[in-house]
Amino acid sequence: MRNPRELGSITPSSRFLTRAVADAIDVESATRIAELGPGTGVFTRALLERLGPDGSLVAVDTNLDFIELLRREIADPRFTAVHGSAEVLPAILAEHGLAEVDAVVSGIPYSLLPKPVTAGILRAARQSLAAGGRFVGYQYSPYLRPFLKSVFGNVRYRFVPLNVPPAFVYHSERRPAER
């Protein structure tokens, strides 16, 4: 509440939204996941519940309070919380021994960011994805759709009305021939 421009919503996400996000990336088959803007960890916990024993989840947030909270509350060897910017996701992943990930999940409130920052984060996410990897972003407006279409060349979405506020779950794939 001290930094309202860092939050997408002041209410926790519903189980319907967390399920829609996890279903969009097929967590059971994804072994390497990056989460951008994990906040207090609602989606982090849901992803870890479904992630296999050999999986890894790297969560990146610019808010140090959130990162410290996650480090205190989530004691899972598959989980790493990083204080940093999603704009340099490939470098962050490399520092943690990952050349690429199978999925990027993002709860960053993009409509609150300058357009060049949004585009930069999405380009970094695409660069970090393995061939066939998927970017999944949840938002409370249609703002993200044209950015995803521009950066990935493809975008699908699902509306989740059983959330406060209602949300959109967007997903785009890094096509195998891209880099």
Q: What is the pLDDT of residues 5-46, one digit of tens each?
A: 444 444 577 889 999 998 898 777 889 999 999 999 999 999
Report pLDDT for 130. Answer: 96
Backbone angles phi, psi at 118, to 5 degrees: -55, -50
Report pLDDT for 3. Answer: 44
Q: Does residue 10 sit within a domain?
A: yes
Q: What percent of the chain has pLDDT over 70?
A: 92
Strand order in the sheet with 79-83: 79-83, 56-61, 32-36, 101-106, 129-139, 167-173, 156-160
Q: Which pair of structure tokens corresponds to residue 67?
A: 């990162």
Q: Does residue 97 sit within a domain?
A: yes
In three-state form (DSSP H/G/I as H, E/B as E, the rest C), the secondary structure along 130-176 is EEEEEEEEEECCHHHHHHHHHHHCCCEEEEECCCCCCEEEEEEECCC
Higher local confidence (pLDDT), 91 or 26: 91
Apex CA 148: angle with CA 146 and CA 149, to 5°? Answer: 65
Q: Does residue 178 sit within a domain?
A: no
Report pLDDT for 4. Answer: 41
Q: Does residue 142 sit within a domain?
A: yes
Q: Does residue 38 have a cis bond before it (omega within 30 degrees)?
A: no
170 pLDDT above the threshold of 80: yes
> How many domains are contained in the chain?
1
Report pLDDT for 179. Answer: 53
Q: What is the per-residue burial (b if ≥16 Cβ within 10 Å, else e) of 87-115? A: bebbebbeeeebebbbbbbbbbbbeeeee
Contact 140, 167 (CB under 8 A): yes
Q: Does residue 179 sit within a domain?
A: no
Q: Which domain holds residue 162?
A: 4-173
Q: Does residue 159 sit within a domain?
A: yes
Q: Does residue 144 sit within a domain?
A: yes
Q: What is the pTM of this model?
A: 0.91
Q: What is the pLDDT of residues 101-135, one digit of tens each?
A: 999 999 999 999 999 999 999 999 999 999 999 99
Looking up residue 29, the CATH number of its domain turns out to be 3.40.50.150
